[in-house]
Amino acid sequence: MESSFKWRILRKLSTCAFVVMVITQLLGWYHLMQLDDATIDNPIARGAWSQRQHFYDRLGLISLLLFLALRIAYWILEYTHKRRLVASNKGEGWKNK
């Protein structure tokens, strides 16, 4: 019985998570470059700056973990799919690769 779950979508989702992680890190770097003496001296601006930096750090970490989890799940599913294909074709499944 064939599963209706399209497991190859995990690779696309992990790529999207990677892109989000890269964009978030670039925004975090740009935000870090905006830190100047006026921001450090003003407690309200410093608090807003640190909250935004914390948000970028948290979003980057979540994106990284999501990327790794989805990519590992994809590799496991791809490996088991190929093993089943080899078992069903009695060793002829790897010739197509």
**Residue 85 belongs to some domain of the structure:** no
Residue 1 in 3-state DSSP? coil
Q: Which domain holds residue 62?
A: 9-70
Mean pLDDT, residues 5-31:
88
pLDDT at position 72 over 80: yes
Interval 23-71: pLDDT, tens: 999 998 898 888 887 777 888 888 888 898 899 899 999 999 999 999 9
Residue 48 in 3-state DSSP? helix
**Residue 91 belongs to some domain of the structure:** no
**Residue 79 belongs to some domain of the structure:** no
**Residue 43 belongs to some domain of the structure:** yes
d(CA 85, CA 80): 9
pLDDT at position 73 over 80: yes
**Residue 92 belongs to some domain of the structure:** no
- Residue in this structure with the two tokens 């905006």, named with its chain if needed: 34
For residue 22, give both structure tokens: 């890269």
Residue 96 is predicted with a pLDDT of: 53
Residue 1 is predicted with a pLDDT of: 43
Largest CA distance in the chain: 72
User: How many structural domains comprise the chain?
Assistant: 1
